[in-house]
Amino acid sequence: MTKPYVFITRKLPEDVVAPLLAIAEVEMWPHEDMAVPRDVLVEKAKRATAILPMVSDPIDEDVLSAGSALRVVANMGVGYDNIDVAAATHRGILVCNTPDVLTDTTADLTFALLLATARRLVEAAMFLKEGKWKSWSPFLLAGADVHHKTIGIVGMGNIGQAVAKRAKGFDMNILYYNRSRRPEAEEKLGAVYRPFADLLAESDFVVCLTPLTSETRHLFNREAFRQMKKSAIFINAARGAVADEQALYEALVGGEIAAAGLDVFEHEPVAADHPLVSLPNVVALPHIGSATYETRRAMMTLARDNIIAVLEGRPPLTPVNRIS
């Protein structure tokens, strides 16, 4: 009997993949840091029963329709805006993600990005490494306090609530905006719901953690940035396309907001000469929100286990869609 064929779009550790080998033929794109070319992905999909993609791999109609055997796409990431879920559902293909295992790690990075931006840590480190430190002065590389300030969290899911827990430790005033109220966050964390415009106007730090959907695309537009304080700092650790990058650039250059910390961009990867990356009041990171050894291995393992479950005729552990 022919084993099902599984295609993995990056090279993963052998011990992670080993349990799959007992029940499937597995092929991995042989590079850890190079995206699989689109034509290769479509070609592999023609015979695949399962695909394990990264969050940057577009799994669209062309990929989903390439072959008739595809049963499951197990994304290595909590976000799945790279997958056409509606098209997958129509074709009877399960889509899975890796929630929960990266919540605290991503919250750590988000708050670290907030601190680094507020206190100008990257700029200060480069100042020293470039030999510019000649003397001490009262306002040398002075940044902004974080403690006792107001943080406005847009997207109060698991990661948003984990960031709020960290903000509570800094004695911050916690505001949030979400599609639906979060009574548990209000009770346990003292978070206060605000309409979007009010949150923007009141917050010293505006932290974007909302998923990318048709409703949230460019949620942070020209009008949104104009509603913020001139001293406000914008942090985006969700998806790049939630913010209009041109509007953000103009807000930063025009002094409408003070600074930005970005772990995500609309089109990734970005070059060093990207307009936002080149600004001195921007701390830019290469989408490393979940990038610890422990968490990335947990994500790989969960994606793998979702595939094993489906191939063995069991329900997936963390499905995004339902197939009737």
Where in the sequence numbering do the catalytic residues fall? 239, 268, 287
Give the position of tokens 């990318």: 212
Per DSSP, what are the bridge partners of residue 205? Answer: 151, 233
The residues, any chain, with a CB within 8 Å of residue 19's CB and separated by 6 or more, are 304, 308
**Spatial CB neighbours of 81, under 8 Å, sequence gap ≥ 6:** 211, 212, 213, 239
* Separation between Cα atoms, residue 300 and residue 28, nearest integer Å: 13
The answer to whether 261 and 235 are in contact (CB under 8 A) is: yes
d(CA 271, CA 278): 10
Q: Where are the beta strands (DSSP E) in 17-115?
A: 25-28, 50-52, 72-74, 94-96
| Dihedral over alpha carbons 286, 246, 206, 164 (to 10 degrees) | -30
Instruction: Determine if the peptide bond prior to 269 is cis (ω within 30°).
Output: yes
CB distance 208 to 220 below 8 Å: yes
State the pairing for strand pair 205-208/150-154. Answer: parallel
Task: Decide: 12 and 27 in contact? Cβ < 8 Å.
Answer: no
Q: How far is CA 218 from CA 70, 243, 263, 285, 286, in A?
A: 33, 5, 16, 20, 20
**Token pair 């009010």: residue:** 198
- Residue whose entry in the numeric block shows the structure tokens 């023609």: 46
Dihedral sign from CA coordinates of 148, 114, 224, 217: negative
Question: How far lies 232's CA from each of 12, 202, 229, in Å?
Answer: 40, 9, 5
